[in-house]
Structure 1
C-alpha cells in the first residue's frame, strides 16, 4: 500500500511538473523577445507572468523546484540576449569555447537575481498566504532593488534591465525623469504580477470572469494614467524646446565605419586618416556658409594610434581643427587612446580641441571612468593569462577619476560617456548634476559585428536623455549614431556599417530632473515599498492568531453532539474530503459524540465529485459509502446555526460568511489557521487542475484534520 502510494504521488507530480517547466520555458523565450534586435516591447508585459504563476502554484517544501525553474527561465532568456558574445570572441581570434563559457557564466550570474525574486514569491505565499496588492507592490519593488544591486555589484552589469524593453514606448518612458529606467521596470513587473495573480486566483480560488474584469480594469486605469501623464509631459517638453532662447549650435557626428581589425593595423593607418579627413571636409563644406558655431564629434578611439605620443597623428588633428575654423568657429571632440605622464598608464579618452585664433588648444581631457571587464582590463589577469589572450592589443587601461564637464561657452557645457558608460544611470546623472547641459556618447561598436548587441547598446542612451531631460549625441564608429531629444525621440539616426555624417542645429534645452538630483537615493524608496507590505501582513497574521486562540479558549468542547462544519465552494472536493477523513479518524479513535458535515457557498445538486476522489478515499482507507451518499449542499443559516465551529478552506468562503452571515463569523476559521498554520493559511480549489494538484490539496487537508482531531482527543475536550 505504501509503495503504491509513493509511486502514485511521483507519477502525478511528474505530469504537473511538465506544465510548470513549459510555462517557465515560455517566460524565458518571452524575456528574450522583449529586447532588440529580434524582439518587441509587447512581450515584456507578459514575459514573467508564466514564471510567477508557476512559482505560486508550487507547494511547500519545494525550494529545489523554485531554484530549477527560476534558473531555467533566466538561462534561456540570457543566452538569447547575450549570444552576441560568442561571435565577438571568435572575430577577436579567441576560441569559440571561451565565448560560450562567458555567455553561460553571465547567464548563470543574471539568473541568480531571477531566483531571488522567485524565492521571495515562494516564501511570501508560504508565510502570509494572502496574495493581494501588498504582495504585488512588494514583489515589484524587490525586482527593482535587485536591478540596483546588479548595477553596482562586481563593478556592475545592468545590461538590459527590464525597463529598457520599452525604449520606443515614448509616452511611458517619460516617467524616467523621476524614477529612471527602474521606474519603468517597476511598472512592467507590477503588470506581470497582476496577470499571474489573477490567473492564479481564477484557477485555484475559482474567481469569476466578472471579478477578473474588475481587477483588470484597475490595471488598465493605472496604465492609462501613466500614458496620459507621458503624453502631456512630452507635449510640454517639446514646447519648451521650441521656446528655448539659447542660440542654435551646429552638431556634426562622424561615423567613419572603420573595421575593428583595421583600427590598430599600421597598414591601414593612412586609409583611416583619409576617410576621416574626407568626412570632416565634406561636413565643413556643407555648413561653412551658415557661419555658426560648430562641434565635430568623433567616435571612440577614432584616432588610429596614440594621439599625443605620435606627432604625425597630432599634427593631422590640429591641421583639421585649423581648417574647420576658417570662416567658422568650430571645436572637435576626439576619441583617442593616450598614455600617462610616465608612459606606464593607458587611458581611453575624449579630448576637446579648439582654436583661439592663433593656435590649437585643448584645455580638458576626459578619461573613461567605468572600464569594460575583459575588454579594457582583465580581472584576475594573473590567474587567467594562461587561458585568455590579450583582450585589447593596447594592454590594460587605467580608469579615470574626474567627472569632466567640457565648456565651450556658458550655455554649451557637456560631458562624455565613453562606450559602456552609457548603461549606468547614476554615473550619467552625476555628470549632469555637475553642470553638463547635454551629453555625448562616443563608442566603437565594431566589436559587436552585425549581432543584436549594437541595437541593445544604443537603446540605453534614450533613457539617459529622458532621465536627465537633455539632448544626447551619439557618435559610433560603425553605428548606431544618433541625436536624441530630451523627450527620448530619435531626431536623426544612422544605420549600422555605413559611412555617415549626421548634421543638425540644436539649442541644447535641458533641465535638472528629480532623477538627476536623487538617482543615488531612489533605492531607499523601493526598499521602503518592499518592506511596508511585509510588515503590514505580519500584523494581520498576529491579529488572526490572537483571535483564533481566544475563540478556542472560549469553546466548550465537552458538550454532546458537537458539530464541525466544513465549507468550500462547490461541496464536491475539499469540504467532502475533510468531512470523510474527519469521520474516518473519529471512528478510529472511538469518538462518537462529534458530528461532521460539509457544505459549499455555491453548491448545486448537479455538481459532480471528481473521479480522483475515489482514488484518494481508497488511498487513505476512507469508506466510499460517504461519497455514495453525498449530495452537494449549499450553505444556509440552519447549518451555520447548528455548527459549533465552521472551518472554511480559503478566504472566498471566509468573506462570504462575514458578508452574508455576520452573526456566525465569530466561530468561523480558515481550516489551516485553526490547525495552527498561520502562514499560507488558504487551501485553494484544485478544480480543473492536473491530478497532482488535487493530491497536494488532499495532503494539506489531511494534515490539518489530523492535528485538529488529535488535539480534541488529547485534551479530552469531548465526552466519550
Structure 2
C-alpha cells in the first residue's frame, strides 16, 4: 500500500504538469495514468483484503491532487457568494470529479475480477467516458477536466476534433497510457519478444498516426475568403464595482469609446462582454430602455453595425406561467436571465439566454428537489437558482444576414451545445465572458485555450470579449491571431473569415461519449447481474 500512494500522487502531478495553460508539456498526458495503472495492478496482484476499497482510496488521492492543482482558482470565482457558501461549493470540482474518476477505476477492478485484464481495460475507458459525459450532463456539471481538453495548448495535435470532439482526445490519451502500461507490465512478466514487438508497434502507431494526420490537416487547411470586420471591446471594469459603484451609463460610454477607437464604416459586429449592461432590462419593453437607446445612438454612426452585448434581462408575469418563474415581492412572478443581446439599427432585438450555469453560484443543483434551500442561499448573499436558462441553442443574425453563435462564459465548455447552434446557420462564434472573478490565475488562460477547441470542432472563427480576462480572435485552425493582456482596458479589431460549411462533429455531435456511456451502462449491468446470481447461489448453498 505504501508504494502505491506515491505512484498515485505521481500520476496526479504528471497530469497537472501536462494540463493547460502549461506549454510544451502536453506529451505527459500520454504518461500520466501509467503510475496509477501500476498502483492498481499492485493492489490487484496483492494478497491484501478489501482491494476495491484500496483502489478507490489510492486513485482518489492522485485525482484529487490533479484536479485541485488545475482548478485551484475556482474558490476565487465563487467567493463573491460568501465564504460560508463558496467553500462547500468549491468542493464540487475539487472533490466530486475525483470521486467519479475513482468510481470508474473501482468499476474497472470489479469488471476485471469477472473477466480478464484486456476486457477490464476496455471497460475502464468506457467507464471513464461515461463519467465525463455524466459530469457534463447532470446538475452538478463541471466538464472542465474532460481529458480531451488537455490538448488545448497543443491544438495542432488534434485537428481531427472536427470529427470526434474532445472525447476523441480522451480515448487517445487512455489508449497510449494503457499500451505503455501493458508494455511495462509485460517486461516484469517476461512477455514473449513477439508480444513485446506488437505492443511497441501499437504504441508507435497509436501516437504517430493521429498526430501525423492532425499536423497534415493543420498545415494544409485553408480558409475560404469571406471577410467580416469585427471589433471586440474589453472595458476592464472591476467585477466587484460593476454593480452599484460605477453608473451603467458610464460603463456603456466606456464601451462605445473603445469601440469607436477602432471601428470602420463596414464593421459588422461590436462584441461587448458578459453583463456589460448590468442594470435589469425588461425584455418586453426593451425598445424603451434608456441603456438600449444609448447603444442605438452609438450605432447611428455604423449603419451596418450590430452590438452583441451581455446584459441582465427579465420577463414579468401576473401569474406563474411556467416552472422556472420565481415570485417577486409585489406578488407577481419573473424569469431572470444572463443574456447576450444583439442590438442593430432597427426595431429588432434578438436575445440569447445563458444555458449552462455554474452549479452553486448560478444554479441550485437538483433545484426541483432542493428548492427549499433557495432562501438560505439568498440570505447568505448568493445568486443560486436566480437565473432561468435557455433549453435550446439559437443563432443571432445581423441585418445583413450573418449568423453568430452566442456563447456566455461557462457555455463555451460544451462542444456539442456550440455545435448545435452552428448547425442552425452560424458563421462564427462570439464568446462573451467576465473572467475577472477568477483574478490573475490560470483559470482565465484555460478558458481562452478551451475556446481554440470550439474553433477546431466547428471550423469557425471565435471572437472572445472578456471584461477583465483575455479577449482574443481565434481562427478556424485554433490559432490565437490577436489577444489582449490581462487587466487592460483595450479594443481589438480583425477581419475574420465567415464559414458556412458543416463539420462531421457539428452534424453528429457527441456520438463517442454516448456510445461509451451505453457500453459503460452495459458493463455495470453485467456486474450487477453477476452479483445477483452469486448471491442467489450462495443463499441456496447456505439454505
Bigger Rg over Cα: 1
Residues 445, 54 of structure 1: CA spacing in aligned structure 2 closer, same or farther, 3 A cutoff? same
CA contact (8 A) 2:427 2:460 kept: yes
Shift in Å, 1:152: 0.6
**Residue 296 of structure 1 corresponds to which residue in structure 2?**
270
Q: Distance in 2 between matches of 1:471 and 1:267?
A: 33
- Shift of residue 367, structure 1, vs aligned partner: 1.5
- 1:197 aligned partner: 182
Match for residue 352 of structure 2 among 366, 370, 375: 366
C-alpha spacing 1:398/1:489, structure 2 compared with 1 (3 Å): same
Asked if 2 retains the 8 angstrom alpha-carbon contact of 1:138 and 1:534, the reply is no
Change (3 A) 1:479 1:524: closer
Structure 2: gaps (5+ residues): 318-332, 526-543
Q: Which residue of 1 aligns with 2:293?
A: 315
Checking the alignment, whether the CA contact within 8 Å between 1:24 and 1:73 is kept in structure 2 is yes
Matched, 1:102 2:85: no
What displacement does 1:407 show? 2.1
Structure 1 pair 351–170 and aligned structure 2 pair: CA distance change class (3 A): same
Q: Is the 8 A contact 2:313 2:337 kept in 1?
A: yes
Q: Does 1:418 align with 2:393?
A: no
What SS does structure 2 have at the residue aligned with 1:276?
Answer: helix
Pick aligned residue for 1:306 from 280, 294, 299: 280
- Provide the rounded CA distance (Å) in 1 between the counterparts of 2:340 and 2:32: 40
Match of residue 378 from structure 1: 364
User: 1:274-320 CA deviation, whole Å, 9 max, x = no partner?
Assistant: 32132022122xx34xxx24211111111242345784323321111
Is the contact between residue 336 and residue 350 of structure 1 (CA under 8 Å) also seen in structure 2?
yes
- Provide the rounded CA distance (Å) in 2 between the counterparts of 1:459 and 1:212: 38
- Offset, 1:46: 1.4
Deviation per residue, 1:438-475 (Å, 9 max, x gap): 22111111111112211222222111111122222111
Aligned partner of 2:56 in structure 1 is: 67
Q: Deviations over 1:19-78 (max 9, x none)?
A: 111101111222222323457323322111111111112136511111211211222222
CA contact 1:348–1:367 (8 Å) conserved in 2: yes
Task: Supply the distance in 2 between the matched residues of 1:226 and 1:521 (Cα, whole angstroms).
Answer: 19
* Residue 119 of structure 1: how far off its partner (Å): 1.9
Q: 1:222 to 1:300 in 2, by over 3 A?
A: same
Q: 1:102 to 1:233 in 2, by over 3 A?
A: same
- Structure 2 counterpart of 1:41: 26
Deviation at 1:532, TM superposition (A): 10
Tell me the distance in 2 between the aligned counterparts of 1:364 and 1:384. Answer: 30
Cα RMSD for the two superposed structures: 2.9
SS state of the match for residue 207, structure 1? coil
Equivalent runs, 1:53-92 vs 2, <5 Å: 53-59=38-44, 61=49, 62-90=51-79, 92=80
Instruction: Give 1:220-299 correspondences, 5 Å limit.
Output: 220-238=204-222, 241=223, 244-246=224-226, 248-284=227-263, 287-288=264-265, 292-299=266-273
Q: CA deviation at 1:510?
A: 4.0
Distance 2:389 2:374 in 1: 21
Moved over 6 A (4+): 528-535
Aligned to 1:617: none
Q: TM-score, normalised by structure 2?
A: 0.84
Higher mean alpha-carbon deviation, 99-108 vs 191-200, is at: 99-108
Question: Aligned pair 1:24/2:13, yes or no?
Answer: no
* Paired positions, count: 497
For 1:155 and 1:65, locate their aligned partners in 2 and report how far apart those are by CA, in whole Å: 26
2:498 to 502, 508, 517: 508
Alpha-carbon distance change, 169 to 85 in structure 1, aligned in 2, over 3 angstroms: closer
Quote the Cα distance in structure 2 between the aligned partners of 1:112 and 1:507: 43
* Partner in structure 2 of residue 390 of structure 1: 381
Match of 2:457 among 453, 467, 484: 467
Query: CA 1:75 to 1:399, structure 2 compared with 1: closer, same or farther past 3 Å?
Result: same
Partner of 2:311: helix, strand, or coil? strand
Distance 1:385 1:213, change over 3 A: farther
